[in-house]
Amino acid sequence: MTDRHERYSTGKKGEGQTWAYLREIGYIRPTAAQRKVIAETFASQGIKIHTQEFDVVEARHADKLKSVAALSTVLHELSLFEVKSCGAGRKATVSAGFKSFGFTLTSKEKYNADTLGDRYRFIFFNLRTSTHRVCRLQDFFCDNMARIYQTWSVFIRQDLPELDGNTAGSQSTPDDDSA
């Protein structure tokens, strides 16, 4: 098995363990239909959210996720949670308080956190210790708590254009004198 396949399998196993743990402590992963209801209910209050930028909600709201009308009755109690987990096989040890844990925070996750304030939380989950911490953005997104620097995650969805005759297998570079 290649390293890539091993990492993928390890990641999928960790993902399964994460969701099982979260179910045990009272969270559910909303379906696509439930996410739509959540977004529409917030929109009915003039609040736009990104539906793919949260992972779980509290299971106690499950029966209200069927319709905008039902969810509207408890919207003031609904929080959205983004899960950040650290794998069991990490080389670096992460403390019980998650010191030394690095992760990606997307611009859309930050948007949801800024828009919803205390109603958007992060669940940090340690697969090695099966422990978690729930935090707000302001609990860690500040210079005295974390080293923060902006990055861009890019996922290419279409074939890239061919420029200047560079095609698959071409090894020429601007500094290549053999051209």
In the chain, domain spans: 3-140
Over the stretch 71-119, which tens digit does the pLDDT of each residue have? 999 999 999 999 999 877 777 788 888 888 888 899 999 999 999 999 9
pLDDT above 50: residue 156: yes
Compare 7 and 73 and report the one with higher pLDDT: 73
Over the stretch 105-154, which tens digit does the pLDDT of each residue have? 999 999 999 999 999 999 999 998 889 999 999 999 988 888 888 877 78
Measured CA to CA, the distance from residue 61 to residue 70 in angstroms comes to 10
Q: What is the pLDDT of residue 155?
A: 81
Enter the tokens of residue 50. Answer: 């990104």
| Contact in structure between 126 and 86 (CB atoms under 8 Å) | yes
Q: What is the pLDDT of residue 10?
A: 46
| Contact in structure between 63 and 42 (CB atoms under 8 Å) | no
